[in-house]
A and B are shown apart, each in its own frame.
Chain A
C-alpha cells in the first residue's frame, strides 16, 4: 500500500493536511496562473522564432532597435544610480532625523506607486516644457530636458525612487546603534563610521533597491513617452518601438524586442535573488 502511494505520480498531489480544499485551491491557482500568465508568455517565447535565428538577430540589431534598447537600458541604469544616491539620503533622513513636514515627505515617496503612469507622464512633460514651472527657468539657462534623453532619465528617476527608499528604510530602522557607538568609542570620526560601518551594513539593501528600480525603469512606458519626444534613434524607448512595430503589423519584430526585454527582466530578478542567497549563505 505504501509503495503504491509512492510510485503513483499523483502521490504528491494528495491532500497534505487535515484542512480541506487542497485540490480545489491547487487546481484553481494553476488554472488561473496558466490562463493569464504562463500560456500568453509562451506565445511571446515562441513567436520571434518564426523569423528563424538569423531573422531574430536581424530584428534586434536593426539600428533603430539597438538605439531604443540602449536608451531604455542606459537611461534606466543612470536613473537607478541617481536614485541610489538620493534614495539613500532620503531614507536616512526619514528614519534618523526629525523635521517639519516629515510625514508628508514620507507619504509622498509612495506617489509613483499610486499615480497612474500616464498622469505622471503628462505632468512631467508639462513641468519641463519650455513654458513649464521648471522648463521655463531652465530654458533661460539653455538647458533642455523635455523631448531629450535627459527627459527620459528624469521620468525614470520619478518611477524608481520609491523602490530604493522603501527597501532601505526598514533596514536603517533595524540597524542597531551599537556598531556605530563602538566605532565612535574607538575614535573613528563620524564620516569614517558612516563610510566603514554604516554603508557596508546598508549595501545589500541598497543593491536590491537599486536593482528593483532598474528593472522597473527598463520596461517603463507611460511616464516616459510624453516627456521623451520619441525621436527615432534619439529619444525613442524600446517599449514604444514594440507598439510602433505592432501598428505596422510587424508582430515578429515586436515579439523579438519583447523577448529581449523579458529576458533582461528575468536576468535582473535572477541576479538579485542570487545576490540575496549568496549574502544569506555568507552569514
Chain B
C-alpha cells in the first residue's frame, strides 16, 4: 500500500537507476580501471613493476613521510582539541577557523608557500644555501607540504567530540588529585580513542596519497624524492602504463582499506565519533 508521502514506483525506479548509473560511471569504473590496467599484462608484470628499485624507493619515501607527518599532526591535533574543548578564552572561533584553513587551500598553493619560504629565491633561500641545508627538492620540504595538507584532519575529528563531552570528568579527576597527564591518559583518551583512530586513518590516507603539494616541492628526482603518487606520474608520462597502474593499485588498495575501516568505525562506534564528516 503506497502512502501519500512515498514516491511513485516510476520515480523511485528512475532515481535509483540514475544513482546507480552515475556512481557506476563516475566512481566505480575509474576504480576498476586502476586494477584492470595494472593487470593488463598479467599479475607477474604488475609485481615486477613493484619490485623495480625506483618503485621500492618511492614506497619507502612515502612510508617515511607519513611516519613523520602523521605523528606530528596527531600531537598537534590532541593539543589543539584539548585547548579548544577544555578552556574558554577569547579568539577561540578564530583559532578553529585557522586550524581548518589548510582544507580550503589548493594543494599546489600549499606546496608553493614552502617554495616561497625555502626555495632559492625565497625568504630563507640564500641563508639555507650558505649553510648547505636543503629543504626544497628534499625530504624536509616533502614532509612540510604533507603536514600542511593533512594539518586539520585529526584536530577536526577531536574538537567537536571533545567539546560535546565537556570537562566535568577531567575536572573531577584533577580535583581528586590526578596529574594532568594521568587525567588525559586515564579519563580523556578512553573517551576519544575511536575518533582519534578515525582521524589518524584519514590523515594517513591523505599523507600517503598527496600529490599536488608534494609535486611542487619534490623536484621529481627519481629514486630520491619521488613519493608513490609522484612515481605514478613519472611512469604514466613515460608511457609505462602497467607500472604506473601497478603502483596506483597499491594506493587504491590503501584507499579501499581506509574506507573499509572508516565504515566499520562509523557503524560500530557511531556515538563515539563526532557527527560531522566532510573532508
A-to-B contact residues, CB < 8 Å: 12-13, 15-22, 24-26, 28-29, 32-33, 36-41, 43-44, 47, 86, 89-90, 92-94, 96-97, 99, 101, 105, 107-127, 132-134, 154, 157-158, 161-163, 166-167, 170, 177, 180-181, 184-185, 190, 193, 212, 215, 218-222, 226, 239-240, 242-243, 246, 249, 251, 254-255, 258, 261-262, 265-266, 268-269
Cβ A114 vs Cβ B255 within 8 A: yes
Report yes or no: A19 in contact with B87, Cβ–Cβ below 8 A: yes
Q: Which of B227-279 contact A (CB under 8 A)?
A: 228-230, 232-233, 236, 241, 244-245, 248, 251-252, 255-256, 258-259, 262-263, 275, 277-279
B44 within 8 A of A: no
Q: Does the CB pair A166–B5 fall under 8 Å?
A: no
**Given A36-B144, A97-B12, are A134 and B4 also a contact pair (CB < 8 Å)?**
no
Is there contact, CB below 8 Å, between B5 and A177? yes
Interface string of B98-139 (1 = CB under 8 A from A): 110110111111001111110101110000000000000000
Complex CA gap A152/B239 in Å reads: 21
Assembled-state Cα–Cα distance A266/B103 (Å):
11
Q: How far is the CB of B242 from chain A (nearest CB, A)?
A: 11
Contact of B215 among A29, A122, A133, A243 (CB under 8 A): A243
For residue A231, give the distance in angstroms from its CB to the closest CB of chain B. 16
A116-B255, A226-B236 known; A239+B106 contact, CB < 8 A? yes
Residue B83 lies at the interface, judged by CB distance under 8 Å to chain A: yes
Contact status of A105 and B112, CB under 8 A, knowing A119-B34, A122-B236, A190-B8: no
Complex: chain A residue closest to B34, CB-CB: A123
A111-B31, A117-B212 given; A16·B5 CB < 8 A: no
Inter-chain contact A43/B278, CB cutoff 8 Å: no
> Once the chains are docked, how many angstroms separate the CA of A220 from the CA of B98?
21
- Residues 151-174 of chain B, each 1 if its beta carbon lies under 8 Å from chain A, else 0: 100000000000000010011001
Interface size of B by CB at 8 A reads: 99
Chain A residues whose C-beta falls within 8 Å of the C-beta of B83 in the assembled complex: 22, 25-26, 29
A221 CA to B8 CA, complexed, in Å = 42
Residues of A near B15 (CB, < 8 A) are 89, 92-93, 97
Question: Do A120 and B112 contact each other (CB < 8 Å), given the known contacts A19-B180, A22-B83, A94-B19?
Answer: no
Taking A177-B5, A221-B211 as given, write out 9 further A-B residue pairs in contact, using a Cβ cutoff of 8 Å, ordered by the A residue number: A19-B167, A28-B75, A122-B245, A126-B241, A158-B26, A219-B107, A222-B211, A239-B212, A258-B109
* A193 adjacent to B5 (CB under 8 Å): yes
Contact residues in B for A258 (Cβ distance below 8 Å): 106, 108-109, 112-113
Contact of B112 (CB < 8 Å), options: A16, A163, A242, A269: A242
- B23 within 8 A of partner (CB): yes
User: Which residue of chain A has the shortest Cβ distance to B107 in the bound complex?
Assistant: A221
Q: Which residues of B contact A (CB under 8 A)?
A: 4-5, 7-8, 11-12, 15-16, 18-20, 22-23, 25-31, 33-34, 37, 72, 75-76, 79-80, 82-83, 86-90, 95, 98-99, 101-102, 104-109, 112-117, 119, 121-123, 144, 147-148, 151, 167, 170-171, 174-175, 179-180, 183, 202, 205, 208-212, 215-216, 228-230, 232-233, 236, 241, 244-245, 248, 251-252, 255-256, 258-259, 262-263, 275, 277-279
